Amino acid sequence: MSDLCAPVFAANWKMCHGPAETGAFMERFVARYPPCDDATVVVFPPAISLPAFAVAAADRPDLQFGVQDVHTEVAGAHTGAISAAMVPATGATWGLAGHSERRREFGDKDADVALKLRRLLEAGLRPVLCVGETIEEREAGQLATVIERQIHGALSSIGAAGRTRLVYAYEPVWAIGTGRTASPEDAAEGHAIVREQLAAAGAGDSARAVILYGGSVKPANIGQLLAAPGVDGVLVGGASLDPDSWAAICAAGR
Ligand code: 13P
């Protein structure tokens, strides 16, 4: 992933911050986070806020942005859905796939995630494949098998060139929105398993893959998480919604 500058700080706003709040957030954030050559900052606003983000970041090409989800089809009768092909016109260059909330609330299966990755790549976007185990799976000793299934399932229809463009996020479901952050050791273990499975799946040079940690990241724990072996950045939900908190997290890359 040589064209990406790590660490990568990614903000997943989920269903928060409409267009007006996006503008207000950015006004404050850009004042607190000057351009930086030593890190990548990318925000995933709700799709309806992508144009507002583009306007607010017009003078800050260092701030990248992306879409949280796309449909498995390119176009058609799918009320309420968004196609990857529509996204580049907003200026967005990234896309999430496989987030645990999409899997749980919307029933996305590994085969859907595979197709979404393909659509994102076809549209020229950089996908972030999210994987991670539930607490039940962890306690049943299934951490490695869950990650293996998610990675192999998602990469099944992606060719070698596409695989080199992917970024990965290890997000243990039990750490998302719970305040229960994975320890640096837990994060390092999860990242090592992701890397092993990427190697097993033939996903390019797994040692160079960019793998983000996600789950209750905040200014107070960003330093120790980024220092954990194999952690190349973070994917942040709740603590990315406040511009001061997000700027404090991104400042860990300076
Ligand atoms: P929280 O940071 O709120 O735990 O969310 C993490 C996440 O799901 C990012 O995609």
Percent of the chain exceeding pLDDT 90 equals 88
pLDDT computed for residue 206 by the predictor? 81
- Tell whether ligand 1 has an atom less than 6 A from the beta carbon of residue 97: no
CA–CA distance, 14 with 93 (Å, rounded to integer):
17
- Tell whether ligand 1 has an atom less than 6 A from the beta carbon of residue 216: yes
**How close is the Cα of 129 to the center of ligand 1, in Å?**
14
pTM above 0.95, yes or no: yes
pLDDT band at 250 (very low <50, low <70, confident <90, very high): very high
- Tell whether ligand 1 has an atom less than 6 A from the beta carbon of residue 98: no
pLDDT computed for residue 10 by the predictor? 98
pLDDT computed for residue 17 by the predictor? 98
Mutate which of 9, 12, 135, 222 for ligand 1? The one with the most ligand atoms within 8 Å of its CB, which is 12
pLDDT computed for residue 156 by the predictor? 86
CATH number, domain 8-251: 3.20.20.70
pLDDT computed for residue 74 by the predictor? 96
pLDDT computed for residue 179 by the predictor? 85
- Tell whether ligand 1 has an atom less than 6 A from the beta carbon of residue 238: yes
Closest ligand 1 atom number to CA of residue 240: 2
**How close is the Cα of 216 to the center of ligand 1, in Å?**
6
**How close is the Cα of 222 to the center of ligand 1, in Å?**
13
**Position with higher pLDDT, 203 vs 161:** 161
Residue 101 pLDDT more than 70?
yes
pLDDT band at 48 (very low <50, low <70, confident <90, very high): very high
- Tell whether ligand 1 has an atom less than 6 A from the beta carbon of residue 131: no
- pLDDT, mean of residues 108-134: 97
Residue type, 253: G
**How close is the Cα of 238 to the center of ligand 1, in Å?**
6
- pLDDT, mean of residues 247-254: 92
pLDDT band at 203 (very low <50, low <70, confident <90, very high): confident
pLDDT band at 3 (very low <50, low <70, confident <90, very high): confident
Closest ligand 1 atom number to CA of residue 235: 9
In the numeric block, the tokens 């197709």 are attached to 115
Closest ligand 1 atom number to CA of residue 14: 10
Residue 1 pLDDT more than 70?
no
Closest ligand 1 atom number to CA of residue 215: 4
- Positions marked active-site: 99, 171
**How close is the Cα of 213 to the center of ligand 1, in Å?**
9
Average pLDDT over all residues of the chain: 95
**Position with higher pLDDT, 157 vs 90:** 90
pLDDT band at 219 (very low <50, low <70, confident <90, very high): very high
pLDDT computed for residue 132 by the predictor? 98
- Tell whether ligand 1 has an atom less than 6 A from the beta carbon of residue 181: no
Contact between 132 and 171 (Cβ < 8 Å): yes
